[in-house]
Chains A and B, each alone.
Chain A
Amino acid sequence: MLARRLPTVLPGLTRVESIDVTKIHSVAGALPASGGLIEIPPFRAPHHGISAPGLVGGGVRPGPGEVSLAHRGVLFLDELPEFRRDVLEAIRQPLEEKRVNLVRVGGACTFPCDFLLVAAMNPCPCGFLGDPRRVCTCDYRERLRYTRKISGPLLDHIDMHVSVPPVSWAEIQKDSPEESSETIKQRVAEARRRAVSRFPSRPAFRNAELAPNDFERFFCLDPPVLRVAAAAVERLSLSSRALHRALRVARTIADLAESERVTAAHLAEAISYRPRLSAEEANRLDSGTLAPIRSSPSIRSSPKAV
Protein backbone atom coordinates (compact mmCIF):
# COMPACT_ATOMS: atom_id res chain seq x y z
CA MET A 1 0.00 0.00 0.00
CA LEU A 2 2.52 2.59 1.17
CA ALA A 3 5.41 1.40 -0.97
CA ARG A 4 3.24 1.56 -4.10
CA ARG A 5 2.89 5.28 -3.43
CA LEU A 6 6.59 5.99 -3.11
CA PRO A 7 7.09 6.74 -6.85
CA THR A 8 4.38 9.42 -6.58
CA VAL A 9 6.69 11.54 -4.42
CA LEU A 10 9.91 10.92 -6.33
CA PRO A 11 11.05 13.70 -8.67
CA GLY A 12 10.44 12.91 -12.36
CA LEU A 13 13.29 11.44 -14.38
CA THR A 14 15.64 13.74 -16.25
CA ARG A 15 15.98 13.15 -19.98
CA VAL A 16 19.24 11.20 -19.61
CA GLU A 17 17.77 9.05 -16.83
CA SER A 18 14.64 8.57 -18.87
CA ILE A 19 16.60 7.23 -21.86
CA ASP A 20 18.61 4.87 -19.62
CA VAL A 21 15.45 3.49 -18.01
CA THR A 22 13.62 3.16 -21.34
CA LYS A 23 16.59 1.28 -22.87
CA ILE A 24 16.43 -1.38 -20.15
CA HIS A 25 12.66 -1.76 -20.41
CA SER A 26 12.86 -1.81 -24.20
CA VAL A 27 15.44 -4.61 -24.26
CA ALA A 28 13.36 -6.59 -21.76
CA GLY A 29 10.22 -6.07 -23.86
CA ALA A 30 8.58 -4.42 -20.85
CA LEU A 31 7.64 -1.05 -22.35
CA PRO A 32 4.03 0.08 -21.94
CA ALA A 33 1.88 -0.20 -25.07
CA SER A 34 1.80 3.59 -25.46
CA GLY A 35 5.52 3.50 -26.29
CA GLY A 36 7.65 6.60 -25.86
CA LEU A 37 10.01 7.36 -23.03
CA ILE A 38 9.40 6.31 -19.44
CA GLU A 39 9.28 9.60 -17.55
CA ILE A 40 8.16 8.55 -14.09
CA PRO A 41 10.34 6.42 -11.79
CA PRO A 42 9.51 2.74 -12.33
CA PHE A 43 8.02 0.61 -9.55
CA ARG A 44 8.75 -3.12 -9.57
CA ALA A 45 7.24 -5.59 -7.13
CA PRO A 46 8.24 -9.14 -8.12
CA HIS A 47 6.52 -12.11 -6.46
CA HIS A 48 8.60 -13.89 -3.82
CA GLY A 49 8.80 -17.03 -5.96
CA ILE A 50 11.29 -15.24 -8.25
CA SER A 51 14.62 -16.90 -9.14
CA ALA A 52 18.05 -15.27 -8.80
CA PRO A 53 18.41 -14.71 -12.60
CA GLY A 54 14.90 -13.21 -12.60
CA LEU A 55 15.88 -10.75 -9.91
CA VAL A 56 19.39 -9.70 -10.92
CA GLY A 57 19.30 -10.67 -14.60
CA GLY A 58 20.82 -13.57 -16.46
CA GLY A 59 19.98 -16.35 -18.83
CA VAL A 60 21.94 -17.91 -21.68
CA ARG A 61 21.51 -14.63 -23.56
CA PRO A 62 21.84 -12.23 -20.63
CA GLY A 63 18.84 -10.00 -20.11
CA PRO A 64 18.03 -7.45 -17.41
CA GLY A 65 16.43 -8.63 -14.17
CA GLU A 66 13.99 -6.90 -11.83
CA VAL A 67 16.77 -4.88 -10.15
CA SER A 68 17.66 -3.33 -13.51
CA LEU A 69 14.02 -2.79 -14.45
CA ALA A 70 13.77 -0.84 -11.17
CA HIS A 71 16.73 1.39 -12.24
CA ARG A 72 16.10 4.99 -11.06
CA GLY A 73 12.93 3.78 -9.37
CA VAL A 74 11.69 1.55 -6.58
CA LEU A 75 12.15 -2.19 -6.07
CA PHE A 76 9.59 -3.47 -3.58
CA LEU A 77 10.10 -6.91 -2.06
CA ASP A 78 6.95 -7.85 -0.19
CA GLU A 79 7.10 -10.74 2.33
CA LEU A 80 10.90 -10.55 2.42
CA PRO A 81 11.51 -13.80 4.40
CA GLU A 82 9.49 -15.78 1.83
CA PHE A 83 12.10 -15.09 -0.87
CA ARG A 84 14.69 -17.84 -1.26
CA ARG A 85 17.78 -17.02 0.72
CA ASP A 86 20.16 -17.32 -2.25
CA VAL A 87 17.91 -14.96 -4.23
CA LEU A 88 18.08 -12.31 -1.49
CA GLU A 89 21.85 -12.67 -1.17
CA ALA A 90 22.16 -12.10 -4.92
CA ILE A 91 21.03 -8.47 -4.58
CA ARG A 92 23.76 -7.51 -2.13
CA GLN A 93 26.42 -6.79 -4.71
CA PRO A 94 24.08 -4.92 -7.10
CA LEU A 95 22.93 -2.79 -4.13
CA GLU A 96 26.50 -1.84 -3.40
CA GLU A 97 27.75 -1.35 -6.96
CA LYS A 98 24.56 -0.05 -8.61
CA ARG A 99 25.14 -2.29 -11.61
CA VAL A 100 25.10 -6.00 -12.42
CA ASN A 101 27.95 -7.59 -14.32
CA LEU A 102 26.84 -10.75 -16.08
CA VAL A 103 29.59 -12.89 -17.50
CA ARG A 104 28.75 -15.71 -19.88
CA VAL A 105 30.78 -17.81 -22.28
CA GLY A 106 29.71 -15.58 -25.17
CA GLY A 107 30.79 -12.37 -23.44
CA ALA A 108 30.00 -10.07 -20.55
CA CYS A 109 27.41 -7.38 -20.21
CA THR A 110 26.63 -4.79 -17.60
CA PHE A 111 23.17 -3.64 -16.62
CA PRO A 112 22.75 -0.57 -14.41
CA CYS A 113 20.58 -0.98 -11.29
CA ASP A 114 20.45 2.22 -9.25
CA PHE A 115 17.27 1.60 -7.30
CA LEU A 116 15.63 2.31 -4.00
CA LEU A 117 14.92 -0.91 -2.15
CA VAL A 118 11.80 -1.17 -0.05
CA ALA A 119 10.96 -4.41 1.67
CA ALA A 120 8.17 -5.54 3.96
CA MET A 121 7.85 -8.47 6.31
CA ASN A 122 5.70 -9.77 9.12
CA PRO A 123 7.20 -9.78 12.60
CA CYS A 124 6.74 -13.58 12.80
CA PRO A 125 5.12 -16.38 10.72
CA CYS A 126 1.68 -15.89 12.33
CA GLY A 127 1.96 -12.11 12.06
CA PHE A 128 0.84 -11.17 15.57
CA LEU A 129 4.14 -10.84 17.41
CA GLY A 130 4.07 -7.60 19.38
CA ASP A 131 0.43 -6.87 18.58
CA PRO A 132 -1.22 -5.66 21.79
CA ARG A 133 -4.59 -7.12 20.83
CA ARG A 134 -3.67 -10.55 19.46
CA VAL A 135 -1.57 -13.43 20.74
CA CYS A 136 1.40 -14.71 18.74
CA THR A 137 1.26 -18.49 18.42
CA CYS A 138 4.78 -18.99 17.02
CA ASP A 139 7.47 -20.60 19.14
CA TYR A 140 11.04 -19.41 19.38
CA ARG A 141 12.36 -21.74 16.68
CA GLU A 142 9.69 -20.77 14.18
CA ARG A 143 10.44 -17.09 14.69
CA LEU A 144 14.16 -17.68 14.44
CA ARG A 145 13.80 -19.69 11.23
CA TYR A 146 11.63 -16.93 9.78
CA THR A 147 13.92 -14.02 10.56
CA ARG A 148 17.13 -15.90 9.84
CA LYS A 149 16.18 -16.01 6.16
CA ILE A 150 17.47 -12.45 5.98
CA SER A 151 21.19 -12.28 6.54
CA GLY A 152 22.94 -9.68 8.67
CA PRO A 153 24.89 -8.21 5.72
CA LEU A 154 21.67 -7.69 3.76
CA LEU A 155 20.01 -6.04 6.78
CA ASP A 156 23.07 -3.85 7.12
CA HIS A 157 22.47 -2.50 3.62
CA ILE A 158 19.00 -1.38 4.68
CA ASP A 159 19.37 2.10 6.16
CA MET A 160 15.96 2.57 7.67
CA HIS A 161 13.88 0.07 9.56
CA VAL A 162 10.43 1.03 10.76
CA SER A 163 7.53 -0.78 12.29
CA VAL A 164 4.04 -0.38 10.97
CA PRO A 165 1.47 -1.06 13.69
CA PRO A 166 -2.20 -1.61 12.83
CA VAL A 167 -4.13 1.63 12.27
CA SER A 168 -6.44 2.52 15.13
CA TRP A 169 -10.17 3.05 14.65
CA ALA A 170 -9.76 6.70 15.68
CA GLU A 171 -7.32 7.22 12.77
CA ILE A 172 -9.57 5.45 10.29
CA GLN A 173 -12.47 7.65 11.35
CA LYS A 174 -10.45 10.86 11.29
CA ASP A 175 -12.06 13.59 9.17
CA SER A 176 -9.00 15.65 8.32
CA PRO A 177 -7.46 14.64 4.98
CA GLU A 178 -3.98 13.12 4.96
CA GLU A 179 -1.14 14.91 3.20
CA SER A 180 -1.17 14.43 -0.57
CA SER A 181 1.69 13.07 -2.67
CA GLU A 182 2.03 16.43 -4.43
CA THR A 183 2.82 18.25 -1.17
CA ILE A 184 5.38 15.63 -0.14
CA LYS A 185 6.89 15.66 -3.63
CA GLN A 186 7.62 19.39 -3.35
CA ARG A 187 9.47 18.86 -0.07
CA VAL A 188 11.40 15.94 -1.57
CA ALA A 189 12.33 17.99 -4.65
CA GLU A 190 13.51 20.87 -2.43
CA ALA A 191 15.62 18.46 -0.34
CA ARG A 192 17.19 17.04 -3.47
CA ARG A 193 17.94 20.56 -4.74
CA ARG A 194 19.75 21.28 -1.49
CA ALA A 195 21.80 18.10 -1.82
CA VAL A 196 22.75 18.93 -5.42
CA SER A 197 23.65 22.54 -4.57
CA ARG A 198 26.35 21.31 -2.18
CA PHE A 199 28.18 19.55 -5.01
CA PRO A 200 27.85 21.74 -8.11
CA SER A 201 30.44 19.62 -9.90
CA ARG A 202 28.43 16.42 -9.51
CA PRO A 203 25.09 16.57 -11.34
CA ALA A 204 22.22 14.52 -9.89
CA PHE A 205 24.10 14.15 -6.62
CA ARG A 206 22.22 12.40 -3.85
CA ASN A 207 23.01 12.12 -0.16
CA ALA A 208 23.31 8.35 -0.47
CA GLU A 209 26.54 9.01 -2.37
CA LEU A 210 28.15 11.00 0.45
CA ALA A 211 31.59 9.59 1.25
CA PRO A 212 32.87 9.56 4.84
CA ASN A 213 35.43 12.30 4.11
CA ASP A 214 32.66 14.51 2.67
CA PHE A 215 31.27 14.80 6.17
CA GLU A 216 34.52 16.13 7.52
CA ARG A 217 34.91 18.53 4.61
CA PHE A 218 31.41 19.88 4.30
CA PHE A 219 29.60 19.54 7.60
CA CYS A 220 31.18 20.87 10.76
CA LEU A 221 29.41 18.64 13.24
CA ASP A 222 28.51 20.43 16.47
CA PRO A 223 29.51 19.08 19.90
CA PRO A 224 25.92 17.96 20.69
CA VAL A 225 25.85 15.97 17.42
CA LEU A 226 29.18 14.38 18.27
CA ARG A 227 27.82 13.48 21.71
CA VAL A 228 24.87 11.69 20.12
CA ALA A 229 27.25 9.91 17.74
CA ALA A 230 29.49 8.86 20.62
CA ALA A 231 26.54 7.57 22.61
CA ALA A 232 25.34 5.58 19.60
CA VAL A 233 28.73 4.00 19.04
CA GLU A 234 29.27 3.18 22.70
CA ARG A 235 25.85 2.23 23.97
CA LEU A 236 24.26 0.84 20.83
CA SER A 237 27.46 -0.77 19.49
CA LEU A 238 27.01 0.99 16.16
CA SER A 239 29.87 0.25 13.78
CA SER A 240 31.57 3.20 12.09
CA ARG A 241 30.01 2.09 8.80
CA ALA A 242 26.56 2.09 10.40
CA LEU A 243 27.26 5.51 11.88
CA HIS A 244 28.19 6.91 8.47
CA ARG A 245 25.00 5.49 7.04
CA ALA A 246 23.06 7.16 9.85
CA LEU A 247 24.87 10.44 9.15
CA ARG A 248 23.78 10.30 5.51
CA VAL A 249 20.18 9.76 6.61
CA ALA A 250 20.57 12.62 9.09
CA ARG A 251 21.78 14.89 6.26
CA THR A 252 18.60 14.13 4.34
CA ILE A 253 16.46 14.73 7.41
CA ALA A 254 18.18 18.12 7.79
CA ASP A 255 17.60 18.86 4.07
CA LEU A 256 13.91 18.06 4.47
CA ALA A 257 13.80 20.39 7.47
CA GLU A 258 15.54 23.06 5.32
CA SER A 259 18.38 23.18 7.80
CA GLU A 260 21.95 24.00 6.78
CA ARG A 261 23.44 22.06 9.68
CA VAL A 262 22.83 18.56 10.90
CA THR A 263 21.59 18.89 14.47
CA ALA A 264 21.56 16.37 17.29
CA ALA A 265 17.83 15.80 16.78
CA HIS A 266 18.38 14.97 13.09
CA LEU A 267 21.06 12.42 13.91
CA ALA A 268 18.99 10.95 16.73
CA GLU A 269 16.07 10.43 14.38
CA ALA A 270 18.37 8.80 11.81
CA ILE A 271 19.80 6.45 14.43
CA SER A 272 16.31 5.53 15.56
CA TYR A 273 15.84 3.90 12.12
CA ARG A 274 18.83 1.56 12.59
CA PRO A 275 18.11 -2.04 13.57
CA ARG A 276 19.91 -2.25 16.86
CA LEU A 277 19.04 -5.44 18.62
CA SER A 278 20.55 -8.80 17.87
CA ALA A 279 18.10 -11.71 17.79
CA GLU A 280 19.34 -12.81 21.20
CA GLU A 281 18.89 -9.37 22.78
CA ALA A 282 15.51 -8.96 21.19
CA ASN A 283 14.37 -12.32 22.46
CA ARG A 284 15.34 -11.35 25.98
CA LEU A 285 13.58 -8.08 25.45
CA ASP A 286 10.51 -9.93 24.26
CA SER A 287 10.48 -12.09 27.37
CA GLY A 288 10.83 -9.02 29.55
CA THR A 289 14.33 -9.68 30.90
CA LEU A 290 15.97 -6.80 29.04
CA ALA A 291 14.72 -3.28 29.40
CA PRO A 292 13.85 -1.45 26.18
CA ILE A 293 16.76 0.68 25.10
CA ARG A 294 14.55 3.61 24.17
CA SER A 295 11.31 4.52 25.74
CA SER A 296 10.14 7.40 23.57
CA PRO A 297 7.89 6.29 20.71
CA SER A 298 8.17 9.72 19.11
CA ILE A 299 9.73 9.72 15.70
CA ARG A 300 11.18 13.15 16.31
CA SER A 301 13.14 11.82 19.18
CA SER A 302 15.23 14.06 21.37
CA PRO A 303 18.93 13.34 21.84
CA LYS A 304 18.22 12.30 25.40
CA ALA A 305 16.14 9.38 24.19
CA VAL A 306 19.06 7.72 22.48
Chain B
Amino acid sequence: MLARVHSAAVVGIDALVLDVEVDVSAGLPCFNIVGLPDTSVREARERVRAALRNGGFPTPGGAVTVNLAPAGLRKVGASLDLPVALAMLQICGLASPTPARRLFVGELGLNGEVRPVRGALCLALAAREAGFDEIIVPSVNAAEAAAVEGIGVIPVATLASTVAHVKGERTLAPFVTPPAGPAPSQGVDFSDIRGQTVARRALEIAAPRGAITCSSWALPGPARRCSRGASRQSCPG
Protein backbone atom coordinates (compact mmCIF):
# COMPACT_ATOMS: atom_id res chain seq x y z
CA MET B 1 0.00 0.00 0.00
CA LEU B 2 1.25 3.43 -0.90
CA ALA B 3 0.56 6.91 0.41
CA ARG B 4 2.02 10.27 -0.56
CA VAL B 5 2.09 13.60 1.28
CA HIS B 6 3.79 16.85 0.21
CA SER B 7 6.35 18.52 2.39
CA ALA B 8 9.42 20.75 2.08
CA ALA B 9 12.93 20.96 3.50
CA VAL B 10 15.34 23.84 3.98
CA VAL B 11 18.38 24.06 1.70
CA GLY B 12 20.65 26.99 2.56
CA ILE B 13 18.21 29.88 3.02
CA ASP B 14 15.74 28.51 0.51
CA ALA B 15 13.50 25.47 0.61
CA LEU B 16 12.72 22.62 -1.73
CA VAL B 17 9.32 20.97 -2.06
CA LEU B 18 9.48 17.22 -1.43
CA ASP B 19 7.22 14.22 -1.78
CA VAL B 20 7.08 11.99 1.27
CA GLU B 21 6.12 8.52 0.03
CA VAL B 22 5.30 5.72 2.44
CA ASP B 23 4.93 2.11 1.42
CA VAL B 24 3.82 -0.72 3.73
CA SER B 25 4.31 -4.29 2.61
CA ALA B 26 3.94 -7.65 4.23
CA GLY B 27 7.08 -8.83 5.97
CA LEU B 28 9.01 -8.57 9.18
CA PRO B 29 8.25 -5.31 11.02
CA CYS B 30 10.82 -2.70 10.12
CA PHE B 31 10.94 1.03 9.43
CA ASN B 32 13.37 2.44 6.87
CA ILE B 33 13.80 6.00 5.61
CA VAL B 34 15.54 6.40 2.26
CA GLY B 35 16.29 9.45 0.10
CA LEU B 36 19.50 10.76 1.74
CA PRO B 37 18.08 11.49 5.21
CA ASP B 38 20.24 13.34 7.73
CA THR B 39 20.48 11.90 11.27
CA SER B 40 17.69 14.19 12.47
CA VAL B 41 15.45 12.99 9.62
CA ARG B 42 16.29 9.32 10.21
CA GLU B 43 15.37 9.68 13.88
CA ALA B 44 11.87 10.65 12.74
CA ARG B 45 10.91 6.96 12.83
CA GLU B 46 11.23 6.89 16.64
CA ARG B 47 9.33 10.14 17.09
CA VAL B 48 6.61 9.22 14.59
CA ARG B 49 6.02 5.76 16.07
CA ALA B 50 5.77 7.15 19.64
CA ALA B 51 3.61 10.10 18.56
CA LEU B 52 1.15 7.79 16.75
CA ARG B 53 0.91 5.39 19.69
CA ASN B 54 0.59 8.11 22.37
CA GLY B 55 -1.91 9.99 20.23
CA GLY B 56 -4.16 6.92 20.22
CA PHE B 57 -3.58 6.11 16.54
CA PRO B 58 -2.70 2.69 15.13
CA THR B 59 0.68 2.06 13.57
CA PRO B 60 0.80 0.00 10.39
CA GLY B 61 2.33 -3.44 10.83
CA GLY B 62 4.80 -4.93 8.37
CA ALA B 63 7.73 -3.41 6.56
CA VAL B 64 7.44 0.38 6.34
CA THR B 65 9.56 2.21 3.77
CA VAL B 66 9.61 6.01 3.66
CA ASN B 67 11.05 7.65 0.56
CA LEU B 68 11.90 11.34 0.40
CA ALA B 69 11.84 12.46 -3.22
CA PRO B 70 13.88 13.82 -4.92
CA ALA B 71 16.13 11.14 -3.46
CA GLY B 72 19.44 12.68 -4.55
CA LEU B 73 19.28 15.69 -2.24
CA ARG B 74 20.32 15.52 1.42
CA LYS B 75 17.37 16.26 3.75
CA VAL B 76 18.04 18.05 7.02
CA GLY B 77 15.88 18.79 10.05
CA ALA B 78 12.90 17.41 11.86
CA SER B 79 10.24 19.15 9.77
CA LEU B 80 9.37 15.91 7.94
CA ASP B 81 7.94 14.15 11.05
CA LEU B 82 4.40 15.39 10.49
CA PRO B 83 4.11 14.40 6.80
CA VAL B 84 5.56 10.94 7.55
CA ALA B 85 2.99 10.41 10.33
CA LEU B 86 0.13 11.57 8.09
CA ALA B 87 1.19 9.28 5.25
CA MET B 88 1.23 6.34 7.67
CA LEU B 89 -2.25 7.24 8.90
CA GLN B 90 -3.48 7.38 5.30
CA ILE B 91 -2.31 3.79 4.88
CA CYS B 92 -4.24 2.79 8.00
CA GLY B 93 -7.27 4.47 6.45
CA LEU B 94 -7.61 6.98 9.26
CA ALA B 95 -6.73 10.07 7.34
CA SER B 96 -8.27 10.39 3.93
CA PRO B 97 -5.84 11.09 1.07
CA THR B 98 -4.92 14.75 1.32
CA PRO B 99 -5.83 17.15 -1.45
CA ALA B 100 -2.90 17.64 -3.76
CA ARG B 101 -2.49 21.34 -3.03
CA ARG B 102 -1.70 20.99 0.65
CA LEU B 103 1.79 20.90 2.18
CA PHE B 104 2.77 19.82 5.71
CA VAL B 105 5.76 20.64 7.89
CA GLY B 106 6.28 20.04 11.60
CA GLU B 107 8.35 18.21 14.16
CA LEU B 108 6.51 15.74 16.40
CA GLY B 109 6.94 15.31 20.13
CA LEU B 110 6.56 11.81 21.58
CA ASN B 111 3.16 12.83 23.00
CA GLY B 112 1.86 13.93 19.58
CA GLU B 113 2.35 17.66 19.92
CA VAL B 114 3.62 19.56 16.89
CA ARG B 115 6.81 21.44 17.64
CA PRO B 116 8.31 24.44 15.80
CA VAL B 117 10.67 23.98 12.87
CA ARG B 118 13.49 26.11 11.52
CA GLY B 119 12.99 28.09 8.35
CA ALA B 120 9.16 28.16 8.34
CA LEU B 121 9.22 31.37 6.28
CA CYS B 122 11.44 29.75 3.61
CA LEU B 123 9.18 26.67 3.56
CA ALA B 124 6.06 28.80 3.09
CA LEU B 125 7.73 30.77 0.27
CA ALA B 126 8.71 27.54 -1.50
CA ALA B 127 5.17 26.17 -1.08
CA ARG B 128 3.67 29.28 -2.66
CA GLU B 129 6.15 29.17 -5.54
CA ALA B 130 5.22 25.54 -6.17
CA GLY B 131 1.54 26.54 -6.36
CA PHE B 132 0.21 25.07 -3.11
CA ASP B 133 -2.97 26.55 -1.65
CA GLU B 134 -2.33 25.69 1.95
CA ILE B 135 0.64 25.02 4.23
CA ILE B 136 0.16 23.34 7.60
CA VAL B 137 2.76 24.64 10.06
CA PRO B 138 3.39 24.32 13.82
CA SER B 139 1.40 27.03 15.61
CA VAL B 140 4.59 28.65 16.97
CA ASN B 141 5.78 29.26 13.39
CA ALA B 142 2.45 30.60 12.10
CA ALA B 143 3.21 34.32 12.51
CA GLU B 144 6.44 33.95 10.55
CA ALA B 145 4.97 31.81 7.75
CA ALA B 146 1.92 34.08 7.44
CA ALA B 147 4.20 36.87 6.16
CA VAL B 148 3.94 35.06 2.81
CA GLU B 149 0.91 36.31 0.93
CA GLY B 150 -1.09 34.13 -1.43
CA ILE B 151 -1.06 30.92 0.58
CA GLY B 152 -3.24 29.83 3.51
CA VAL B 153 -1.18 29.19 6.65
CA ILE B 154 -2.90 26.69 8.98
CA PRO B 155 -1.40 26.59 12.46
CA VAL B 156 -1.62 23.20 14.21
CA ALA B 157 -0.67 22.30 17.78
CA THR B 158 -1.13 18.50 17.81
CA LEU B 159 -1.16 15.54 15.46
CA ALA B 160 -4.80 14.88 16.45
CA SER B 161 -5.93 18.37 15.38
CA THR B 162 -4.03 17.98 12.10
CA VAL B 163 -5.81 14.70 11.39
CA ALA B 164 -9.19 16.28 12.24
CA HIS B 165 -8.42 19.13 9.84
CA VAL B 166 -7.37 16.79 7.05
CA LYS B 167 -10.50 14.64 7.47
CA GLY B 168 -12.62 17.78 7.48
CA GLU B 169 -14.08 16.96 10.91
CA ARG B 170 -12.83 20.18 12.47
CA THR B 171 -11.47 22.58 9.89
CA LEU B 172 -8.88 25.01 11.21
CA ALA B 173 -8.92 28.63 10.08
CA PRO B 174 -5.89 30.15 8.36
CA PHE B 175 -3.68 32.32 10.54
CA VAL B 176 -4.42 36.02 10.26
CA THR B 177 -1.57 38.40 11.00
CA PRO B 178 -2.71 40.85 13.70
CA PRO B 179 -2.49 44.52 12.64
CA ALA B 180 0.97 45.89 13.29
CA GLY B 181 1.22 48.02 16.41
CA PRO B 182 3.68 50.87 16.87
CA ALA B 183 7.29 49.88 16.25
CA PRO B 184 8.73 48.42 19.44
CA SER B 185 11.27 50.59 21.21
CA GLN B 186 14.83 49.32 20.96
CA GLY B 187 15.45 50.29 24.58
CA VAL B 188 18.44 52.49 23.81
CA ASP B 189 18.77 55.98 22.40
CA PHE B 190 21.55 58.28 21.28
CA SER B 191 20.43 60.82 23.86
CA ASP B 192 21.80 58.44 26.55
CA ILE B 193 25.36 59.23 25.45
CA ARG B 194 27.15 62.35 26.66
CA GLY B 195 29.73 64.06 24.47
CA GLN B 196 31.58 61.98 21.82
CA THR B 197 30.68 64.43 19.07
CA VAL B 198 33.11 62.96 16.55
CA ALA B 199 31.99 59.36 17.01
CA ARG B 200 28.33 60.41 16.82
CA ARG B 201 28.98 62.32 13.65
CA ALA B 202 30.82 59.33 12.12
CA LEU B 203 27.92 56.99 12.91
CA GLU B 204 25.44 59.45 11.44
CA ILE B 205 27.44 59.54 8.20
CA ALA B 206 27.73 55.76 8.20
CA ALA B 207 23.97 55.24 8.62
CA PRO B 208 22.58 56.48 5.27
CA ARG B 209 25.44 55.05 3.25
CA GLY B 210 24.42 51.48 3.93
CA ALA B 211 26.70 48.55 3.57
CA ILE B 212 30.45 48.46 3.57
CA THR B 213 30.47 51.74 5.33
CA CYS B 214 32.43 50.97 8.33
CA SER B 215 33.74 52.89 11.22
CA SER B 216 36.14 51.90 13.82
CA TRP B 217 37.14 53.65 16.96
CA ALA B 218 39.20 53.33 20.03
CA LEU B 219 38.29 53.73 23.66
CA PRO B 220 39.91 55.73 25.12
CA GLY B 221 41.54 57.52 22.26
CA PRO B 222 44.27 60.09 22.13
CA ALA B 223 43.24 63.50 23.23
CA ARG B 224 46.19 65.48 22.00
CA ARG B 225 47.47 64.14 18.76
CA CYS B 226 47.82 61.00 16.72
CA SER B 227 49.88 58.31 18.24
CA ARG B 228 50.93 55.03 16.78
CA GLY B 229 48.30 52.72 18.17
CA ALA B 230 45.58 55.25 17.84
CA SER B 231 46.51 56.07 14.29
CA ARG B 232 45.15 52.70 13.38
CA GLN B 233 41.75 54.13 14.08
CA SER B 234 41.87 57.80 13.76
CA CYS B 235 43.42 61.15 13.45
CA PRO B 236 41.25 63.73 15.12
CA GLY B 237 44.04 66.17 15.72
Contacts and interface: CB of A to CB of B under 8 A. Distances in A.
19 contacts: A2-B190, A2-B200, A5-B190, A18-B147, A35-B141, A98-B212, A107-B73, A116-B213, A119-B216, A147-B232, A155-B232, A161-B234, A162-B234, A164-B199, A172-B194, A178-B190, A192-B208, A285-B225, A299-B201
Nearest to B212: A208
B216 A121 contact: yes
A282 B226 contact: yes
A130 B212 contact: no
A163 B198 CA distance: 8
Contacts of B225: 130, 285, 292
B220 A207 contact: no
B202 interface: yes
A256 to B, nearest CB: 7
Contact of A19 (B141, B147, B191, B224): B147
A86 B123 CA distance: 35
Given A161-B234, A178-B190, A181-B191, A130 B222 contact: yes
Interface in B9-45: 10-13, 38
Interface string B211-228: 111111111111111111
Interface in A125-176: 127-132, 138, 143, 146-147, 150, 155, 157-168, 171-172, 174
A146 B229 contact: yes
A160 B222 contact: no
Contacts of A95: 212, 214
Interface in A245-296: 248-249, 252-253, 255-256, 272-273, 275-277, 279, 281-283, 285-286, 292-296
A107 B190 CA distance: 44
B12 A110 contact: yes
Interface in B175-227: 177, 180, 183-184, 186, 188-227
Interface of B: 10-13, 38, 73-74, 76, 118-122, 125, 140-144, 147, 177, 180, 183-184, 186, 188-237
B177 to A, nearest CB: 7
Nearest to A177: B191
Contact of B144 (A31, A281, A299): A31
Nearest to B11: A109
Contacts of A286: 226-228
B113 to A, nearest CB: 17
Contacts of A112: 13
A34 B232 CA distance: 42
Contacts of B120: 26
A163 B221 contact: yes
Given A121-B218, A121-B233, A159 B212 contact: yes
A35 B144 contact: yes
B7 to A, nearest CB: 16
Given A162-B199, A273-B205, A277-B228, 8 more contacts: A118-B203, A188-B204, A192-B208, A208-B211, A275-B231, A276-B231, A279-B228, A286-B228
A260 to B, nearest CB: 16
Contacts of B196: 2, 164, 167
